């Protein structure tokens, strides 16, 4: 076996699969080429368990540690597109998981704080993101109460399903800021784009059905065994 050539061959296979995935996302209505090019720059295979690397560029959610998931690429692209990320925007992510969504936001130049309730996931994501050169502030805790130290945020993205829009998060938005959040029953949600239009005013638009693991915490669902 040629040890030198194996990694580059593998990289080429992943690169091809990544480009094919981008075409799938375009065909599903993702039109923001900045989002697509950010996703093209990120090795998703490194964010999934080793046994799943061959499936990293399927348009599907995959299992990670602590019985959680790395979100489906289409969902990551759609939520990122809805945030209209610009360089230096201050973004809070709730649900670091694998760290992939945080990498996409950082690749777009955002200043990202990401909160995860499972310490193991947060630590693994922090290490991986740093090794790839992404400067993401990974915190451990209950993200449903937000993160007061960084407020107000231009964008907040919740990557777990909430029973209602968590009020602390809506209140930590800057005026004009956008909260993208899946809301609904535990097994099926609707994606909402909530915009803060004034000190006590918000508007909400529906962005279609989605399915996430539950958001567990003070302004989310009660804790359940194994989640
Ligand atoms: N954004 C992740 C990624 O790119 O891999 C996917 C996130 S996964 C679908 C949802 C994550 O939200 C899980 O890792 C879960 O532990 C986390 N989570 C659930 N409730 C939370 C809370 N109150 N605060 C922080 N994280 C939470």
Closest CA to 190 of 168, 174, 212: 212
* Helix residue ranges, H only, the chain: 5-27, 33-40, 73-83, 100-107, 119-131, 167-171
Q: Whose CA is nearest to atom 2 of ligand 1?
A: 97
Report which secondary-structure segment, H or E, holds 112.
Answer: strand 111-116
The answer to whether residue 105 scores a pLDDT higher than 60 is: yes
Distance of CA 186 to the CA centre of its chain: 18
Which atom of ligand 1 is nearest the CA belonging to 103? 4
Output helix, strand, coil percentages for the chain, rounded to the nearest 5: 40, 25, 35
Confidence of residue 226 (pLDDT cuts 50, 70, 90): low
Q: How many Cα atoms sit within 13 Å of 221 on the Cβ side?
A: 19
Q: Residues near ligand 1 with C-beta < 6 Å? A: 68-71, 94-95, 97-98, 100-101, 115-118, 121, 142-144, 159-160, 212-213, 215-217, 220
pLDDT, tens digit (0-9, with 9 covering 90-100), for 73-84: 999 999 999 999
The answer to whether residue 53 scores a pLDDT higher than 90 is: yes
Averaged pLDDT for residues 29-42: 98
Say how many Å lie between the CA of residue 159 and the centre of ligand 1.
6
5 given a catalytic annotation: no
The answer to whether residue 1 scores a pLDDT higher than 70 is: no
pLDDT score for 214: 97
Enter the tokens of residue 192. 């909402």
Question: 46 in helix, strand or coil?
Answer: helix
Q: What structural domains and CATH numbers belong to the chain?
A: 60-226 (3.40.50.150)
**Annotated catalytic residue: which of 5, 8, 71, 98?**
71
Averaged pLDDT for residues 39-59: 98
Q: How many Cα atoms sit within 13 Å of 151 on the Cβ side?
A: 14
Say how many Å lie between the CA of residue 154 and the centre of ligand 1.
20
Backbone φ and ψ of 185, nearest 5°: -60, 165
Q: Which of 95, 140, 144 to mutate to test the pocket of ligand 1 (most atoms within 8 A of CB)?
A: 95
The answer to whether residue 202 scores a pLDDT higher than 80 is: yes
């Amino acid at each position: 076996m040629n040890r030198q050539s194996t990694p580059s061959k593998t990289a080429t296979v992943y690169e091809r699969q990544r480009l094919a995935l981008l075409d799938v996302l375009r065909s599903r209505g993702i039109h923001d080429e900045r989002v697509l090019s950010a996703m093209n720059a990120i090795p998703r295979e490194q964010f999934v368990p080793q046994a799943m690397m061959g499936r990293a560029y399927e348009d599907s959610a995959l299992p990670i540690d602590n019985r959680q998931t790395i979100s489906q690429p289409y969902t990551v692209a759609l939520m990122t597109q809805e945030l209209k990320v610009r360089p230096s925007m201050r973004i809070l992510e709730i649900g670091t998981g694998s760290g992939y969504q945080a990498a996409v936001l950082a690749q777009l130049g955002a200043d990202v704080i990401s909160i995860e309730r499972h310490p193991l996931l947060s630590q693994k994501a922090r290490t991986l993101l740093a090794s790839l050169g992404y400067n993401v502030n990974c915190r451990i805790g209950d993200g449903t109460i937000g993160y007061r130290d960084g407020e107000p945020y231009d964008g907040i993205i919740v990557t777990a399903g909430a029973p209602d829009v968590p009020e602390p998060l809506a209140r930590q938005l800057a005026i004009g800021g956008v909260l993208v959040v899946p809301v609904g029953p535990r097994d099926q949600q609707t994606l909402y784009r909530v915009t803060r239009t004034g000190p006590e005013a918000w508007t909400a638009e529906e962005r279609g059905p989605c399915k996430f693991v539950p958001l567990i915490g003070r302004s989310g669902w009660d804790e359940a065994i194994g989640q």
